[in-house]
Every structure is written in C-alpha cells, then in structure tokens.
A and B are shown apart, each in its own frame.
Chain A
Amino acid sequence: MTTPLVEMRQIDKRFGAVQALRGVDLTLQPGEVLGLVGDNAAGKSTLMKILSGALQPDGGQILFRGEPVRFASPAEARRRGIEMVYQDFALCDNLDVARNVFLGRWPLRAWGIVDRAAMQRAAEAMLRRLRIDIPAVTLRVRALSGGRRQSVAIARALSFDPAVLILDEPTANLSPGATQEVLRVVAGLRAHGVGVIFISHRLQEVFEIGDRVTVLKQGRHVATCRVRDATEEEVLELIVTGGRPGAGAGAPPPAG
C-alpha cells in the first residue's frame, strides 16, 4: 500500500468538561472516497474541523503524506491542499456562480482590474470538468436549486486544487434528485486523484459512492471497513452499538 494521504493518530479533543474525541484514528488514501459516519455527537464534524485547521487537537498527531503537520488555521491546511466544504454551503447568494467559485481570488489583468471574462471561462471549465450542469455561470447563486448550490460550493473547493476534500453532510437538506447530482460529482472526484472524506448520516449514500467507511461513536473510533466487504446492516449495527454487543446499554451516556 502507498503512503496514506492523511493519517490522523490518537486524536483527542475536549470542549470544557466534554470529551468530544478520544484517541481517534483515521486514514485516507489518495483517490479514495472515505465515508465518515456515526450518530449525532459522534465527533465527525469535530474530527474534520481539526483536519481542516478550524480546530486544534488536544492530543494526537496528523500525518500528511507521511509527514507530521500541525494546522493553526484553515489557511494553513489549505496551503497543504486540505479543503473543507461546510454544511451550509458558505456561498454568497448575491453573487453569480463564477464569482462564488473564485471568491476572494479574482483573476486579474493589467492595472489590477478583475478579468471577468477569464474568471467566467475558468468557472465554466471547472464546472464542465466536474460535469456540473448549470445553465450559465452568470446566474446568481440565489436563483439555483439546493443541489446546484452545493455543486458550486464543491467547485469552489476544487478550484483550490486540493489533495483532500472534506464534505460535511453535502446532501443534508437536498431533494433526492439533487442528492444524486451531488453524489455523481463526488464520485467523479476519484478520477481527479482527490481524496474525499464524506461525512454523512445516510448510509446508503456512503455505500453508493464510498470505498471505505469509518464509524465513530461518542468520540471513539469504532471501526473502519471496506464498503464492499460490509453490508449496510453491519455498519448500522456498529453505529448503534459501538461495536460491542449490548454496549449501547452499558456505555457511559453521550458526553455532548
């Protein structure tokens, strides 16, 4: 096996009295879609915010391409090629698609003027490459459906040319049609060699596009398995029981 793209080892994180993560491990291979599942307060988002630099761990180690790294901010994680798409899309509704894709990184021509035509061409190319179907990059994002908005958010993340893309419940609040569109886009990222971590609470989506799945429960790593070696029922069992028969009754109450 090649060096993992990302290796998180024994990550601890506490918020005041709440132990959100306890010694969690996670690995991501290049060109792989890793599903990250677990019920509420399992620590999925916390773990990913640590990887993307939005939070700092209290303990543990992160290896990026085998090299220990420490991210003090999302900007530092971004410089290494780790990009996170937040659950609420984080788009500017008042701007068009092209401007949202290049938010804050406006291509310039002479005299420091924004090169609008180049920006629109690049945005179109980006959307075409991802096979995202949007009628025109000059449309305001406000006018788009939820699925298309999510696709624009993913396109922006990819315009940073990341090695790792983290998607926090990208299909929450989407219609079935829009969900399929987003899943198709995510599945297509594999072809670009991007490692994707896909937080979801819908197992069937993880089984549809994931290569492996990591299960968290109450801030602990429960199991990681290859999707093709497991069934949805088995993973659901892990999510509910935490991997030990009867553990759901005997485990300490959820901290958060």
Chain B
Amino acid sequence: MRVQQAGRTPARAPAPFHRAVGASALGSYEAAIYIALLLVVVAVSLIAPRFLSPDNLFEVARNFSFITAVGVGEAMVILTGNGGIDLSVGSVMGLGGVVATKLLGLGAGLLPAIAAGIGAGWICGTANGLLVTRARMTPLIPTLGMLSIAHGLSLVITQGYPLTDLGRAGPAFVALGAGYVGPVPNPVVYMFLVVASGWFVLTHTPLGYNIYAVGGNAEASRLSGIDVDRVRLVAFMVSGALAALSGILLAARLSVGDATTGQGEELNVIAAAVIGGVSLLGGQGSVLGLFAGAALIGVLLNAMVLTGVPAFWQQVVIGSTIIVAVLLDRLRLRLARA
C-alpha cells in the first residue's frame, strides 16, 4: 500500500482561515525573516555606523552573493522533498572554477572555458540526480560521495597547486568576477539575476509548480501525471550547474583556480536556505526567503568584523543562527496550533 503511506502527512490541526489568507503572498515565515533581517540591520548600524556606508554594504552583498546563487539550486533540490539535499555544491563550485581556469590556461576562449566549467557541474548534478531517482539512493549518500569526488577531481586537475595562468582570455575572465556595473560589484549583479530567475521559475513555470507539488506529496503528484523522477533530476542538474557557474565567478573574482575554493560552502548554503525558511521536509519555502537567510548570515558576519569579534567565532554564530531560526519556526507553529 505505497499510496497510503506516501499520501499520509503528519496530522496537523487546520489553521484558522485568516492566517492562511495572510500567508498567500509571502509565507508568514518569509515575512518574519525579513523583519528579523531589518532588525539586525538597524541594530548593527546603531552599533557600527560604518555598516551603512555604500562600500560596506556592497562588500557584504558581494560576500553572500555566491552563497545565495548556489542556494537557489540547493533550494530547488530541498523543495522536491524526499530528503532532497545536495551536499556536493561546495566541491562542485571548486570543480567548476578549476575546470574553467585550467582550460583558460591551456588557451581556451572565455565562453568555451565557462561552458565547460558549467558542464562539469551539470554532469555532477546529473549523476546525483540519477543515483537518487534511478538507483533510489537517499540524496544524502550520492551527494556526499560527489562532495568527495568533485573535490578529488579538482585536486587531480590542479595537482594541488593554484592555477594562476589564465591565458589570453585571463583579463576578461578576471574582469567578470572583479568588475562592476556602475557602483555594483558584478557578483552582486549575478546574484540578483540568479535570484530573480529562480523566483520566476519556481513561481511562474510548470517546473516550479511541479517542484512544489512533488515536495508536498510525491504520490499524489505521480497519480496526477507529474513525472516525479524527472522533476527531481532536473533540480539536481540545476543545483550542479549553478554551483559550478558560481564557482567559476568566484575563481574569476579571486583570479585563481583553486581546488579548495568553495570547500565547506555547502554548509553555509544549506544554512542560508534553512534560515530563510526552506523546509528540509520539502514543498515549503522560497527563493526570496533564501535570499533573506543568506543576507542575515552575511550581515551578522560583517557585524562581527566591524565590532571586532574574533573571526574564529564566525562558525559558532552561523550554527547558532540556524538552530535559533528553526526553534523560532517550531515555536511559531506551536503557537499557531494553540
């Protein structure tokens, strides 16, 4: 009786109508996270007025831009439910950057090098997706394996040395990551493009609608004719490709291809998603929430720098923020039920 098992969701008392109506535009959690972000921004700017200077704000945005962009793909994977998660995004960022810079060093043009880097990430994502949908592995396992594989491949390609020879297209490549559009750093422009695209796909296209449906009830979706496996596969492909593209831009900004770039970023990416209200159970959350989650982390980290808190405390703060965010969400649910 697979139908019944999959169809059952934990019983939850029906919420009052007015609450659900109010939640239609932005989920109430997303609204709360934006309010939290605003409060933190106000507090930080009171403590350290330098925070609000345009230079600092752009610096903050540039620092969380890569996490946010990678997070859009990660969020799609998580939204499809069934334990959907992509642990390999950090390593795939590194691999994308390494493949692109290696090819540049070998004399490849800018676009072919970038395309090859994205392709490498897409292949990683496809492998993850196929192992989840065809071999029926729980997503934790293949993506954990891919974390190791992608990093290992980066080491094989670089032989452990940073790739600094970026060939004839090097200057154009570096400008891509380090340049500006007006006063806005390119990575920030890139982040907004990715967030806008991710938001559009998830809220306006059949793929986005299918992602939320599959994450809500995979069996119901299947009975209604949605190709559940294909939706999950596509989410992993997007996650891999976006991670690689972001890693390429990060390599461009740092003007070096390094196997260690992006390492460990998967935790920040997942933290941003969770703080932003993307439920690890699937079907719940949005790209706009993810953006706020990443921004909140970025602002907190910047506040620590501005107020002179030792950098060693950063990980402690991020970890605590995740736990507090999830605790508050639980509390909110409990209050709503009471």
B204 interface residue per 8 A CB criterion: yes
B213 interface residue per 8 A CB criterion: yes
A92 touches B24 (CB 8 A): no
Q: Which of B8, B204, B205, B213 contacts A88 (CB 8 A)?
A: B8
Interface hits, B53-77 → A, CB 8 Å: none
B15 touches A114 (CB 8 A): no
B225 touches A75 (CB 8 A): yes
A106 touches B209 (CB 8 A): yes
Of B98-106, B216-224, B297-305, B312-320, the segment with at least 4 beta carbons within 8 Å of chain A is B216-224
Of A133-141, A190-198, A236-244, the segment with at least 4 beta carbons within 8 Å of chain B is A133-141
B221 touches A92 (CB 8 A): yes
Q: Which of B24, B204, B225 contacts A105 (CB 8 A)?
A: B225
Mask for B1-40, Cβ within 8 A of A = 1, else 0?
0011001110010111101110110000000000000000
- What separation, in Å, do the CA atoms of A103 and B226 have in the docked complex? 8
Chain B interface residue count: which class? 35 or more
Of A93-101, A122-130, A210-218, the segment with at least 4 beta carbons within 8 Å of chain B is A93-101
B210 to chain A: which residues have CB within 8 Å? 104
B283 touches A92 (CB 8 A): yes
A103 to chain B: which residues have CB within 8 Å? 213, 220-221, 224, 226
Interface hits, A70-129 → B, CB 8 Å: 74-75, 78, 86-96, 99, 103-106, 108, 112-114, 116
Q: Which of B12, B206, B219 contacts A106 (CB 8 A)?
A: B206
B224 touches A95 (CB 8 A): no
A75 to chain B: which residues have CB within 8 Å? 225
B12 to chain A: which residues have CB within 8 Å? 142
Residue of A nearest to B20 (CB): A143
Residue of B nearest to A113 (CB): B204
- What separation, in Å, do the CA atoms of A136 and B20 have in the docked complex? 10
Residue of A nearest to B25 (CB): A138
A144 interface residue per 8 A CB criterion: yes
A220 interface residue per 8 A CB criterion: no
A114 touches B217 (CB 8 A): no
- What separation, in Å, do the CA atoms of A90 and B219 have in the docked complex? 7
A94 to chain B: which residues have CB within 8 Å? 212, 215-216, 283-284
CB distance from A104 to the nearest CB of B (A): 4
- What separation, in Å, do the CA atoms of A176 and B203 have in the docked complex? 38
- What separation, in Å, do the CA atoms of A89 and B8 have in the docked complex? 9
A145 interface residue per 8 A CB criterion: yes
B3 touches A88 (CB 8 A): yes
In the complex, how many residues of chain A place their beta carbon closer than 8 angstroms to a beta carbon of chain B? Answer: 35
B205 to chain A: which residues have CB within 8 Å? 112-114
A221 interface residue per 8 A CB criterion: no
B225 touches A139 (CB 8 A): no
The answer to whether A90 and B223 touch (CB under 8 A), given A106-B206, A139-B17, A142-B12, is: yes
B215 to chain A: which residues have CB within 8 Å? 94
A156 interface residue per 8 A CB criterion: yes
Residue of A nearest to B227 (CB): A104
- What separation, in Å, do the CA atoms of A143 and B24 have in the docked complex? 12
A135 to chain B: which residues have CB within 8 Å? 17
- What separation, in Å, do the CA atoms of A106 and B19 have in the docked complex? 26
CB distance from B49 to the nearest CB of A (A): 42
Residue of A nearest to B285 (CB): A94
B3 touches A86 (CB 8 A): yes
A86 touches B217 (CB 8 A): no
B9 to chain A: which residues have CB within 8 Å? 93
A-B contact pairs, 16 of them (CB 8 A): A86-B4, A92-B216, A92-B217, A92-B220, A94-B284, A95-B212, A99-B213, A103-B220, A104-B224, A112-B205, A135-B17, A138-B24, A139-B20, A143-B17, A143-B20, A144-B14
CB-CB nearest 10 A-B residue pairs: A92-B216, A143-B20, A90-B220, A104-B224, A94-B216, A88-B7, A94-B283, A103-B224, A104-B226, A92-B217
Q: A94-B283, A143-B19 are in contact. List 10 more A-B contacts (CB 8 A).
A: A86-B7, A90-B7, A92-B217, A94-B212, A96-B24, A106-B206, A114-B206, A138-B21, A139-B17, A143-B17
